[in-house]
Chain A
Amino acid sequence: MELMDGHVATKTSSGQGNSRHALPNDNKRRDRRDHPSDSGDASGNRETERNEQSRTSGQSRRHSIDIPSEMSRHEEEEELKYGAKHVIKLFAPVSLCMVVVVATINTVDFYSVKDMYLVYTPFHEESSETTTKVWNAAANSLILMCVIVIMTILLILLYKYRCYKTIHGWLIISSLMLLSIFSYLYLEEVLRAYDIPMDYPTLLFGMWNFGVMGMICIHWQGPLKLQQAYLIFIAALMALVFIKYLPEWTTWAVLAVISIWDLIAVLMPKGPLRILVETAQERNEQIFPALIYSSTYMYTSVTAADDSSTRTSNTSPDEHGFTRDWVDNHEERAARRRVDEPQTGGRSTTGNQANQPSAYDEEERGVKLGLGDFIFYSVLVGKASSYGDWNTTLACFVAILIGLCLTLLLLAIFQKALPALPISITFGLVFYFITKQIVTPFSDSLSNEQVFI
Chain B
Amino acid sequence: MTVVEFLGCMFLAFGPPFFMFILTIAHDPVRIIILIAAAFFWLLSLLISSFWWFIVYPLRNDLVFGVIFSVIFQEFFRGVIYSILRRAQIGLTKLTDDTTTLIENKHILAYVSGLGFGIISGAFSLINVLADSVGPGTMGLKSGTEMFFISSSTITLCFILLHTFWGVIFFDAMDKKNTLVITAVVVSHLLVSCLTLLNRYQVYYYTIVPIAIICALTGLFAFKTAGGSYKGFKSSFVYR
Interface string of B59-103 (1 = CB under 8 A from A): 000010011001100100000000000000001001111010000
Once bound together, how far apart are the Cα atoms of A189 and B103, in whole Å?
Answer: 53
Determine whether the beta carbon of A450 is less than 8 Å from that of B193.
no
Chain A residues near B94 (CB-CB < 8 A): 3, 77, 80-81
Interface string of B9-40 (1 = CB under 8 A from A): 00000000000000000000110110011011
Chain A residues near B39 (CB-CB < 8 A): 398
Once bound together, how far apart are the Cα atoms of A388 and B131, in whole Å?
Answer: 9
Determine whether the beta carbon of A450 is less than 8 Å from that of B29.
no
**How many Å from the CB of A443 to the closest CB on chain B?**
6
**How many Å from the CB of A157 to the closest CB on chain B?**
40
Q: Does B51 contact A (CB under 8 A)?
A: yes
Q: Does A390 contact B (CB under 8 A)?
A: yes
**How many Å from the CB of B103 to the closest CB on chain A?**
12
With known contacts A87-B29, A453-B70, A438–B95 Cβ distance under 8 A: no
Interface string of A428-448 (1 = CB under 8 A from B): 000100110011011111110
Q: Does A451 contact B (CB under 8 A)?
A: yes
Q: Does B168 contact A (CB under 8 A)?
A: no
Q: Does B54 contact A (CB under 8 A)?
A: yes
Determine whether the beta carbon of B125 is less than 8 Å from that of A453.
yes
Chain A residues near B120 (CB-CB < 8 A): 394, 398
Determine whether the beta carbon of A453 is less than 8 Å from that of B36.
no
**How many Å from the CB of B141 to the closest CB on chain A?**
18
Determine whether the beta carbon of B193 is less than 8 Å from that of A451.
yes
With known contacts A405-B33, A452-B159, A394–B124 Cβ distance under 8 A: yes
Nearest chain B residue, comparing its CB with the CB of A394: B123
Once bound together, how far apart are the Cα atoms of A84 and B28, in whole Å?
Answer: 9
**How many Å from the CB of B51 to the closest CB on chain A?**
6
With known contacts A394-B124, A452-B156, A442–B49 Cβ distance under 8 A: yes
Q: Does A85 contact B (CB under 8 A)?
A: yes
Q: Does B128 contact A (CB under 8 A)?
A: yes
With known contacts A395-B43, A405-B36, A450-B155, A442–B66 Cβ distance under 8 A: yes
Q: Does B3 contact A (CB under 8 A)?
A: no
Q: Does B46 contact A (CB under 8 A)?
A: yes
Secondary structure type dominating chain B contacts? helix
Q: Does A307 contact B (CB under 8 A)?
A: no
Q: Does A88 contact B (CB under 8 A)?
A: yes
Q: Does B50 contact A (CB under 8 A)?
A: yes
Q: Which of B105-113, B179-187, B196-204 contacts A (4 or more CB under 8 A)?
A: B196-204
Determine whether the beta carbon of A81 is less than 8 Å from that of B46.
no
Q: Which residues of B contact A (CB under 8 A)?
A: 29-30, 32-33, 36-37, 39-40, 43, 46-47, 49-51, 53-54, 63, 66-67, 70-71, 74, 91, 94-97, 99, 120-121, 123-129, 131, 148, 151-152, 155-156, 159, 192-193, 196-197, 199-200
Q: Which residues of A contact B (CB under 8 A)?
A: 3, 77, 80-81, 83-85, 87-88, 91, 388-391, 394-395, 398-399, 401-402, 405, 431, 434-435, 438-439, 441-447, 449-453
21 contacts between A and B (CB under 8 A): A3-B99, A80-B91, A80-B94, A84-B29, A84-B33, A388-B131, A399-B43, A401-B36, A405-B36, A438-B47, A438-B50, A439-B46, A442-B46, A442-B53, A443-B128, A446-B67, A451-B196, A452-B155, A452-B192, A453-B67, A453-B121
Enumerate the 9 nearest inter-chain pairs by beta-carbon distance, A residue then B residue, closest first.
Answer: A450-B199, A77-B94, A442-B50, A88-B29, A84-B29, A390-B127, A453-B70, A439-B50, A452-B196
Q: A3-B99, A398-B43, A431-B47 are in contact. List 8 more A-B contacts (CB 8 A).
A: A84-B96, A390-B128, A401-B36, A435-B47, A438-B54, A443-B124, A445-B63, A451-B200
